[in-house]
Amino acid sequence: MTTAHSAAERATAGEPQRFPLVLGLDTFGDVTYDGDGRPLSHAQTIRNLVDQGVLAEQVGVDFFGIGEHHTDDFPLSAADVVLAAIAARTSRIHLGSAVTVLSSDDPVRVFQRYSTLNAVSGGRAEVILGRGSSIDSFPLFGYDLADYDDLFEEKANLFAELLKGRPVTWQGTTRASLVDQDVVPHTESGPFPTWIGVGGSPQSVIRAAHYGFSLMLAIIGGNPARFTPFSQLFYQALERFGQRRRPVGVHSPGHVADTDEQARAEFWPHYLEVIRRVSRTRGFAIPTKESFLYEVGPQGALYVGSPETIAQKIAANLTALGATRFDLKYGMGGLSHQALMTNIELYGTQVVPRVRDLLA
C-alpha cells in the first residue's frame, strides 16, 4: 500500500509507517474585509477568526493554527488567547501556534501559555516554534537582530528541557538561569507536540532532530520537491541523535473555491498587494501573473484552486516529501470573512476526504 510517508520510508531502511495523516489549516490572522472591500477592525477580525476555528472542527479539519505577528495587517499578537476561545467552543480539533517566534519570547512563558491551553482544551495543544522570518517582534521586545541565531538556539534548548516535565536546571546568556525550578502548570499526559518550522535552513532541520522536535517545512515558493532532502536529512539526524522517529509536516499558502478560475481570481489581486507591501521590508520579488500561474500549477508552492486540484497537489507533495501532515495557510489580506468561511468549508468537506482517499 502506498502511503504519504513512502519516500522517506524507502530512504530510511523501510521502517513501517507510524504517523497518522493530519490535514490542518493555518492563518496569520490577516485583517478581513467587508463586502464593500473595507478593512474590518482588529477586534472584529479576531472575533471572525474564532468563528473560523470553530467551523474548521465542524467540517472535519484536524488542526487549526495561528501564526504570531505584530503588525496592523496581522494583529494576532496573542494567538494562545484566541486558541483558548476556540477550545472553549470545540471538542476534537487540535489547536496550536503556526508559528511562535521563540527568539523574541521567553521559553518559560511560551511553555506556560501552551500547557495552559493544553489543559483548557483537554490535551489538544501543539506548538510550532520558529526563529521569525517576520522580524517585527524583535524591536518590539527589545531584541537585537545580531543575536538572531544565538537567541533561537539557546531558547530551543531551554524549551526542550521544559518539555521533560521535571524541575529544570539550565544556564544560558539570553535569560536568567534556572536551578531546580518547577514550572507550572504540569501537563496531564506527557509533553504536547512541538515542531520547528523550517524555511530553508539545513541547520534548523538538524536542530529539530537534536532536540526531538517534529519538522514543519514552510514552503511558500518554488517547487516543493526541492525540500525532499530536508526530510531525508531529518530522519537520518534523528537516528544519529538516538531520537525516536518524528513526523514531517508541510505548511503552504493557498485558497480553495468552487473552481480553479474562481479561486485564482479571488486570490491573485490580494496576493499581489500583500507581497508588494511586505517586499519593502523582506526583499520578496514582486510576483507577475506568469509567476503566479506557475506557483499555482503542479510544480509551484501555492495551493489555489478547486477542491480536486488542491487535493491532488497535496497528495502528490506529501508523498514526494515523505510527510504525513499538511497545513493550508488560508486567508490573504483583502479577502472577506465569507470567502474564508467558504474556503474552510470546501477544505474540510471536500479536500480533506479526497486526500485521504488518494493516500489510502
Please write the tens of the pLDDT for every residue from 304-337: 999 999 999 999 999 999 999 999 999 998 999 9
* pLDDT given for residue 277 in this prediction: 83
C-alpha span between 228 and 69 (Å, rounded): 28
**Cα angle, residue 8 at apex, residues 5 and 13 outer, rounded to 5°:** 115
Residue 104: pLDDT band (50, 70, 90) is confident
Q: What percent of the chain has pLDDT over 70?
A: 92
Q: Tell me the pLDDT tens digit for each residue of 115-138.
A: 999 999 999 999 999 876 667 766
11-33 mean pLDDT? 77
255-275 mean pLDDT? 96
* pLDDT given for residue 137 in this prediction: 67
Nearest to 15 by CA among 298, 348, 245: 245
Residue 192 has pLDDT above 80, yes or no: yes
Residue 2 has pLDDT above 80, yes or no: no
What distance, in Å, lies between the first and last C-alpha atoms of the chain?
A: 8
* pLDDT given for residue 133 in this prediction: 60
Residue type, 270: H
* pLDDT given for residue 285 in this prediction: 85
* pLDDT given for residue 281 in this prediction: 67
Output phi, psi for 236, to 5 deg: -65, -40
Q: Which residue has the higher pLDDT, 179 or 18?
A: 179
Secondary structure of 111-138 as H, E, C letters: HHHHHHHHHHCCCCEEEEEECCCCCCHH
Residue 5 has pLDDT above 70, yes or no: no
- Backbone conformation region of residue 30, classed left if phi is above 0, alpha if psi is from -120 to 50, else beta: beta
Maximum C-alpha span of the chain = 59
Lowest mean pLDDT among 7-21, 83-97, 342-356: 7-21
Q: What percent of the chain has pLDDT over 90?
A: 76
Residue 219: pLDDT band (50, 70, 90) is very high
Q: Distances from the Cα of 220 to the Cαs of 199, 296, 353, in angstroms?
A: 8, 11, 24
Lowest mean pLDDT among 136-140, 158-162, 213-217, 330-334: 136-140
Q: Using omega within 30 degrees of 0 as the cis cutoff, is the peptide bond preceding 185 cis?
A: yes
296-302 mean pLDDT? 97
* pLDDT given for residue 130 in this prediction: 86
Average pLDDT, rounded, for the chain: 91
Nearest to 309 by CA among 281, 338, 350: 350
With beta carbons less than 8 A apart as the criterion, state whether 156 and 89 touch.
no
For the record, the C-alpha cell of 170 comes out as 539550565
Residue 208 has pLDDT above 80, yes or no: yes
Nearest to 267 by CA among 308, 310, 309, 296: 296
* pLDDT given for residue 220 in this prediction: 92
With beta carbons less than 8 A apart as the criterion, state whether 28 and 67 touch.
yes
Residue 18 has pLDDT above 80, yes or no: no
Q: From the CB of residue 264, how many other CB atoms can be counted at a distance below 10 Å?
A: 19
- On the CB side of 346, CA atoms within 13 Å amount to 24
16-30, 71-85, 168-182, range with greatest mean pLDDT: 168-182
C-alpha span between 49 and 118 (Å, rounded): 19
> CB-based burial of residue 280 (10 Å sphere; 0-12 exposed, 13-18 middle, 19+ buried)?
exposed
